[in-house]
Structure 1
Amino acid sequence: MQNQRNIILAVVLTALVLFGWEAAVGYFYPQAKTPVQTVAAGGAEKATSPTTPIKPTREGGLVDPNDVALEQKDLRAELASGGRVPVAAPGLSGSINLTGAMVDDLVLNRHRETVEKNSGPVRIFSPAGTPAQQFAQVGWLGQGGVAAPNAQTVWTAPANARLTPSTPVTLTWANPTGQRFAITYSIDNNYMITAVQTVENAGGVPVVVKPFALVNRTDKTASLSTWNVHSGPIGAFDGSVNFNVGYKCGSSFSFLSSCVDLDAQKSVVNQGKADWIGFTDIYWMSAIVPVNAKADSTFRAMGNDIFRADLIYDQQVVQPRSRVSATTKLFAGAKEHAVLDAYEKQGITNFSLAIDWGWFRWFEKPIFWLLTSLFKLVGNFGFAIILLTVIVRGAMFPVAQRQFASMAAMRAIQPKMKALQERYKDDKQKQQQEIMALYKKEGVNPLAGCLPMFLQIPVFFALYKTLILSIEMRHQPFILWIKDLSAPDPLHVLNLFGLLNFQPPGFLAIGVLALLLGLTMYLQFQLNPAQMDPAQQQVFKIMPWFMMFVMAPFASGLLVYWITSNILTIAQQKFLYSRHPQLKAQQDKDAQDKARAAERDKGAKA
């Protein structure tokens, strides 16, 4: 009995650690208010209103209303100033700034900001100086006094230049000593821009330059980073993806995963060959990739909530009347599973692992594949999750048969167990010995009912990771009020299901799906054998409602899975109970006893 109680408590604590930590950290430990200075183009500091990064949103983006308003104003001013080359591709749209040759204006054509159909596309890059600044730049460091272009350099583009998948664009600039610099940008149909940097030396002496590439961004737009889902600096070095560097580790308890605090250290020089380096949110990523060249890589904290990822190539000597080149790929887009896989097949090492599947990706990726395959079949992710649940329950049917047979046998011998408890109520050791002897005599294993619960934990965790990580699940509707299965249930009891203008905190945001989860768990537990130990009885009584509170803030798709699983379990359990001979005989006996008792009461009244 003690072992069984420990197993139950272990399951509850495991659920809390795996799924409850994120909600607790986000609610009880919001980030403190900090005044912010942003860096304007040209290097000057520009003051903005103080911000309150209450806590990063699940997807990322500005959270302070003042920043949102300022971003819209600054963005309009920056993009209307001219001196830009338009970018138009199926995956990306925007422009390249001729000042500094910066890629600083990009939106994702395939993804909307919100579930509303008229919401604009997701913006991933914004110019320097805007509250949401994020941009990429390639260039050179001049050695020995060579004049190289910088962030204030105004480049020249061909007339009517427009970057599309079929029309690359070359920007040029020449210094007074005879060196001509050129950057040729090309773009594919998804999210990859290729920059070829060329230096041609028309002077009379050799010159030395170091090509570089960088991604610059603010963490004010970062998505929530937790111990099991990383958001922040990311890179692959010597074929291994590094998730251990954070913007500011202490704010989200990232130290639990040995987080390196970039804001405190100011710079982190990465060891090993850089395969790619950049910054990731849950759904979006910007990364630079060296092509056929060795480059040193560094993460830097620039101050004022600005961070940078650098690639610096080996220095190159450019002889008179010759040229040298370096090629860097820039990924700026959504972490779509198929797209990342395709880039990995094209030679970018471990690019698909930018999705933080974790240690159990060997199990999570097949669940993801099955779920997306079912979605293609039925066209609705909610129904795909239900079908996935049916398949999982079907695969575990033989195990469930044994579980329910054991549970039915437990229910059948409960009268005998109660009799033993009464007989040996003053001798607990003898009571336990007699109960174990009864188990052995009746062929009952009291722990058999726990096995399916443990088997479902990997499936549940895999679905949890799939729903919160996969961009394919974002903004996928189900039915009625469920417009996004990757988001929590939007209707809550405490605000009368949306009638009151009040948003309850996460752990009190009990919605319709959470109520259904608690109810189905309660009904399921009613079919289980009553626990003989009073402590176990209390655990089983409160567990459905406890799990209702724990699961309420989680993705609606997870609750759809669990509710469906509970309903199938109840149906299967009742069916098997009805066919179990011992339990059926006990139920018939109980019915006869009740009928006789009713007859006696009737006779007594007469």
Structure 2
Amino acid sequence: MESQRNLMLIALLFVSFLLWQAWQDDKAPQPVATQTTVAQTNDVPSHSNSDVPDADSSMPVQLPATQNLIEVKTDQLDIKIDPVGGDIVYAALVDHKVEIDSNDPFVLLEQNGAFNYISQSGLIGRDGIDSSTHGRAHFSAESELYQLADGQDTLSVPLSYVDANGASYTKVFTFTRGQFDVTVDYKVNNTTSAPLQMQMYGQIKQTVQASESSMMMPTYRGAAFSTQSVRYEKYDFEDIAKSNLNQQTLGGWAAMLQHYFVSAWVPPANDSNTIFSSMSAGGQANIGFRGAVHDIAPGAQQTISAQFFVGPKDQKALSDISETLNLVVDYGFLWWLAIPIYKLLMFFQSIVTNWGVAIILITLSVRGILYPLTKAQYTSMAKMRNLQPKLAELKERFGDDRQKMGQAMMELYKKEKVNPMGGCLPILLQMPIFIALYWVLLESYELRHAPFMLWIDDLSVQDPYYVLPLLMGVSMWLMQKMQPMAPTMDPMQVKMMQWMPVIFTVFFLWFPSGLVLYWLVGNLVAITQQKIIYAGLEKKGLK
């Protein structure tokens, strides 16, 4: 019974951690919108965040009467571009639906009166064409609709602009079949007699909203960034409201996260960039980058580029863009354990093509690997139970002399070859694996809308009929009944242990069904292993 009590204690601590985390999210003060600026860097001219045009949530897009949004359709994306500034103001993911039984695509970027989530980019600096004081460049396009045709691998969308001095600018969006990243190129043709100096910026703006996180689904919505010294760090809306980022780095990226999805600006890895953030007066959080300063000689042409990603947290696709961008799939402090679990899960899925079956296979694998330790655990427990009469004799002999009692117990354990801690190691190994798998199931976008069988059509959400949690509770109750109660156990502890299956059944009602499936199968395997091990111990004369 000691093993079961320890297991439930550790699981209870884990659930308590989730409760504390949910309480923190609920009680944390909401961001207060403030108008602030970013400090200057040493190697760039006096271009601060005030140079970056502000698109406050209270200011709708203003288009000339003859201009409409430019729509781009690929096999993965449905994008709308505002010709004023060339900003991406709408992005829908074609193959990712809002609901499992819906034909409507999941919309990640959008702009309306109540909520804005857009991606901006432009050229700022001494000769930049985008400014918070002088307005944005008004681009023109040959068409209002661009579509990736069958058999076409890439699609380019050029937007043209000529400034008052005659210099021409072409902002080109390049889309690739099967990909969610967009290459944004500024092709500058300096037809003037004077040199031009400018730098590119890219930023993501989002109206601050309350978190949709819950106790069992502690998802993160907010900003994140990467620099040379910080591979990955979250910077939530409260952080943005308190202090503006001003991180100068080689390469780096800036992103907004939303559970299974991410939007990110990734400037060139070899350029000196500045990662910045700000909070507008209208309650809109911004995070982005300012790129290196470029000097373009008279009569010269130059291309200034960056990449923008808008899509699911596909680790391979993100790694192809930046070696650290895949870290937005946040597995927490057990990332080193979660990564091999994720790879093993993907391997099983590639064979069985069913995520539920893959979860069952990974459960069997984990239990199989831990079987030698589990056997040692139950053997140690059986030996400890058989030593109870001798331990009782020692207690009567030495009474309250703890020192002599301890020495006698150690001698007895050594003589009988019993390790009193032998029952703890498998439990200590199982809980990190459980927590790591919890984060894998929580963060892996592949499980979103992934069906299992029968009524389970989405392993990333709770069981709609609560069948799996109830079965899990029954299996936990069976495990409890299979292990004898220690005669010396306090009656209050006995009652608590009897109620544990009920308590955990209630907690598991809101767990993702994929995780409950893992726990249920793990319990069933554990029950089978217990019966096999107990039968072997009985043959050896150990009860």
TM-score, structure 1 normalization: 0.74
Q: Which residue of 1 aligns with 2:253?
A: 276
In the superposition, relative to structure 1, how do residues 228 and 30 fare at CA in structure 2: closer, same or farther (>3 Å)? closer
Cα contact 1:220–1:305 (8 A) shared by 2 = no
Answering whether residue 522 of structure 2 is matched by residue 533 of structure 1, we say: no
Letter in 2 for 1:466: V
* CA offsets 1:169-205 (integer angstroms, 9 cap, x no match): 2111112222222211111221111111122222233
1:103 aligns with 2:58: no
Q: Residue 177 and residue 221 in structure 1: after superposition, are their counterparts in 2 closer, same or farther (change >3 A)?
A: farther
Matched letter for residue 502 of structure 2? W
Would you say the 8 A contact 2:226–2:254 is kept in 1? yes
Q: Please report how far the alpha carbon of residue 211 of structure 1 lies from its aligned counterpart in structure 2 after TM superposition.
A: 2.5
Go from structure 1 to structure 2 and tell me whether the alpha carbon gap of 1:214 and 1:33 turns closer, same or farther (over 3 Å shift): closer
Report 1:160-559 matches (<5 A): 162=146, 164=148, 165-189=153-177, 190-220=179-209, 224=213, 230-238=220-228, 240-248=230-238, 261-265=239-243, 267-291=244-268, 292-343=270-321, 348-413=322-387, 416=389, 420=393, 439=413, 442-491=416-465, 511-531=466-486, 532-534=488-490, 537-538=494-495, 540-559=497-516
Alignment correspondent of 1:54: none
Equivalence map 1:81-160=2 (5 Å): 83-116=68-101, 118-127=102-111, 129-143=112-126, 148=130, 152-159=136-143
Rounded Cα–Cα distance in structure 2 between residues aligned with 1:370 and 1:440: 40
Instruction: Say which is worse superposed, 394-403 or 459-468, in terms of deviation.
Output: 394-403
What letter matches 2:99 in structure 1?
T
Amino acid across the alignment from 1:293:
D
Structure with higher RCO (Cα < 8 A, 6+ apart): 2
Deviations 1:379-438 (A, max 9, x none): 221121111111111111211221222233344455x36964996797695887777666
Deviations 1:353-375 (A, max 9, x none): 12112333222111111112212
Task: For 1:199 and 1:33, locate their aligned partners in 2 and report how far apart those are by CA, in whole Å.
Answer: 39
Q: Bigger CA drift: 460-469 or 400-409?
A: 400-409
Question: 1:148–1:285: structure 2 CA closer, same or farther, 3 Å change rule?
Answer: closer
Aligned equivalents of 2:219 and 2:469: distance in 1? 23
Q: Secondary structure at the match of 1:272?
A: strand
Contact 2:68 2:144 in 1 (8 A): no
- Measured in 2, the distance between the counterparts of 1:42 and 1:358 equals 34
User: 1:305: Cα distance to partner?
Assistant: 2.8
Amino acid at match of 1:113: V
Distance 1:549 1:161 in 2: 52
CA distance in 1, matches of 2:31, 2:278: 23
CA contact (8 A) 1:198 1:323 kept: yes
Deviations 1:458-510 (A, max 9, x none): 2111211110001011111223332221212223xxxxxxxxxxxxxxxxxxx
Match of 1:564 among 495, 516, 521: 521
Query: 1:126 aligns to what SS in structure 2?
Result: strand
2:485 is paired with a residue whose SS is coil
Q: 3-state DSSP class of the match of 2:155?
A: coil
2:202·2:289 contact (CA, 8 Å) conserved in 1?
A: yes
Distance in 2 between residues matched to 1:163 and 1:294, nearest whole Å? 35
Residue 119 of structure 2 aligns with an amino acid whose one-letter code is A
**Residue 591 of structure 1: aligned partner:** none
Number of residue equivalences: 511
3-state SS, counterpart of residue 303 of structure 1: coil
| Mapped partners of 1:574, 1:319: distance in 2 | 81
Cα pair 2:221 2:236 within 8 Å, conserved: yes
Distance 1:6 1:404 in 2: 14
SS at 2:498's partner residue? helix
1:575-606 CA distances to partner (integer Å, 9 max, x unpaired)? 221232477676xxxxxxxxxxxxxxxxxxxx
The offset of 1:93, in angstroms, is 1.2
Structure 2 counterpart of 1:565, one-letter code? G
- Name the % identity: 25
Distance 1:485 1:417, change over 3 A: farther
Q: Structure 1: any 5+ residue segments left out of the alignment?
A: 36-40, 48-73, 249-260, 492-510, 587-606
Question: C-alpha offsets along residues 500-540 of structure 1, whole Å, 9 cap, x if unaligned?
Answer: xxxxxxxxxxx333332232222212223423331654554
1:91 aligned partner, one-letter code? Q
Q: 1:367 to 1:131 in 2, by over 3 A?
A: same
Q: Could you say if the C-alpha distance between residues 310 and 290 of structure 1 is closer, same or farther in structure 2, counting changes exceeding 3 Å? A: same
Residues 577 and 517 (structure 1), Cα distance of their counterparts in 2 relative to 1, 3 Å cut: same
C-alpha displacement at 1:111, in angstroms?
Answer: 1.0
Closer/same/farther in 2, CA of residues 223 and 445 from structure 1, 3 Å limit: same
Distance in 2 separating the partners of 1:29 and 1:545? 28
* 3-state secondary structure, aligned to 2:323: coil
Distance 1:473 1:221, change over 3 A: farther
Contact 1:195 1:330 (C-alpha < 8 Å) held by counterparts: yes
Q: Which runs of 5+ in 2 are unaligned?
A: 34-52
325-334 or 291-300, which moves further after superposition?
291-300
Counterpart-to-counterpart distance in 2, 1:167 and 1:33: 40
Q: Name the aligned partner's letter for residue 242 of structure 1.
A: Y
CA distance in 2 between counterparts of 1:43 and 1:585 reads 74
Whole-angstrom distance in 2 between the partners of 1:210 and 1:359: 37
Shift of the 434–91 alpha-carbon distance from structure 1 to 2, 3 Å rule, reads same
CA contact (8 A) 1:201 1:318 kept: yes
Q: Tell whether the 8 Å contact from 1:411 to 1:530 is kept in structure 2 after alignment.
A: no
| Superposed CA RMSD | 3.8
Shift of 1:45: 6.4
Residue in 1 that maps onto 2:47: none
Amino acid at match of 1:168: S
Alpha-carbon distance change, 34 to 480 in structure 1, aligned in 2, over 3 angstroms: farther
The CA distance in 2 between the partners of 1:102 and 1:14, in whole Å, is 47
How far, CA to CA, are the matches of 1:290 and 1:170 in structure 2?
Answer: 20
Amino acid at match of 2:472: L
Q: Is the 8 A contact 1:235 1:274 kept in 2?
A: no
Is this contact kept in 1: 2:251–2:271, CA < 8 A?
Answer: no
Separation in 1 of the partners of 2:383 and 2:125?
82
Q: CA separation of 1:572/1:148 partners in 2, compared to 1, >3 Å: closer, same or farther?
A: closer
Aligned equivalents of 2:459, 2:188: Cα separation in 1:
51
Kindly tell me: are residues 518 and 124 of structure 1, through their superposed partners in 2, closer, same or farther at Cα, counting changes over 3 Å?
same
